[in-house]
Amino acid sequence: MADATQPPAAPLSAAGARQGPRSAAEKRRQAERRRRHRIWLARAVLLVAIVAFWQAAAGRLISDFFIGKPTEIAETLYIWAASGKLFYHAGITSIEALLGFLLGSAIGMTFGVVLGRAQTLADVLDPFIMMFYSLPKIALAPMFILWFGIGIDMKIYLTATIVFFLVFLNTYSGVRSVSREQIAIMRLMGANERDILRKVVIPSAITWVFNGLRLSVPYALIGAIVGELIASNKGLGYLLADASGQFDTSGMFAALIAIMVLALALNVSVKFIERKAMPWKVVEDKREMSI
């Protein structure tokens, strides 16, 4: 039998009811931040360990003629940076990769949307598109040199050709995956093709488009570097080819490191644009983190 003198439990207020989920979500966010910090720490430790082992092995386990030394590579990068040589050639490669990326992406998205909405035309062009897609793009470089010379134009067009197919195929797949029911409802409401594209097709396919853009970023840089390796007197590819011709291992590794840093910067830029273009995805990611 309950004690009649015992005071009744105080009702849980609305603020107190919300306090529990909020504190739990905050704890999960803090745990996620700690996990990211541990990941970055592990990456830093791994990088330091690799560089230390490399420095110790060069000249002892393996001749430094083949792998160079991190200290010599860092010295080469410093000399290039101090003289402005590194930034000049990196700027040339960046322009080639960026302009080729923008040109190929614009054409790829346009063709992807058009063929995604015109199935008969897509069926007619499908075997021709797949033939060109299967063709190794580096095989086009000699022909591009013949058509456009060895200047910056050739690298831009070669890069655009590589990027085009990646963006086109992803955009086409995204457009074809749009719900037919949504399109039918829009038509019943009197929407024309422009309204369907603007309000249904493009918002639904934008995730596919950015997947294609992310995939094409490293290939854009590959196109620019390959063009510079084949025929150029400027750019990071030229620095790599020049160091290779002089059997300068440290110079080759320095050029490769510069290329990797540039690739990382381009990837980060695309992710930043993606967050700005799809703010709802950032909200969904935060919501999933808080669950």
Distant-in-sequence, close-in-space partners of 140: CB < 8 Å, separation ≥ 6: 158, 161
Whether 152 maps to a domain, the answer reads yes
Whether 161 maps to a domain, the answer reads yes
Range of the domain at 221: 68-283
Which of 75, 76, 71 is CA-nearest to residue 55? 71
Whether 60 maps to a domain, the answer reads no
Distance CA 184, CA 134 (A): 35
Distance CA 74, CA 180 (A): 57
* pLDDT at position 17 over 60: no
* pLDDT at position 166 over 70: yes
Domain count, the chain: 1
Catalogue the long-range contacts made by 250-254 (C-beta closer than 8 Å, 24 or more residues apart): 250/68, 250/69, 250/72, 250/73, 250/75, 250/76, 251/76, 252/68, 253/67, 253/68, 253/73, 254/73, 254/76, 254/77, 254/80
* pLDDT at position 79 over 60: yes
Quick check: pTM over 0.85? no
Average pLDDT, the chain: 80
Q: 80: domain CATH number?
A: 1.10.3720.10
- pLDDT number for residue 45: 93
Whether 28 maps to a domain, the answer reads no
- pLDDT number for residue 284: 52
Tens digits of per-residue pLDDT, 95-129? 999 999 999 999 998 888 888 878 788 888 888 88
Tens digits of per-residue pLDDT, 117-165? 787 888 888 888 888 888 787 788 888 888 888 888 888 998 999 899 8
Whether 201 maps to a domain, the answer reads yes
* pLDDT at position 12 over 60: no
Whether 76 maps to a domain, the answer reads yes
* pLDDT at position 288 over 80: no
Distant-in-sequence, close-in-space partners of 65: CB < 8 Å, separation ≥ 6: 247, 249
Average of pLDDT values for 88-98? 90
Tens digits of per-residue pLDDT, 208-255? 888 888 888 888 888 888 888 887 788 888 899 888 888 888 889 999
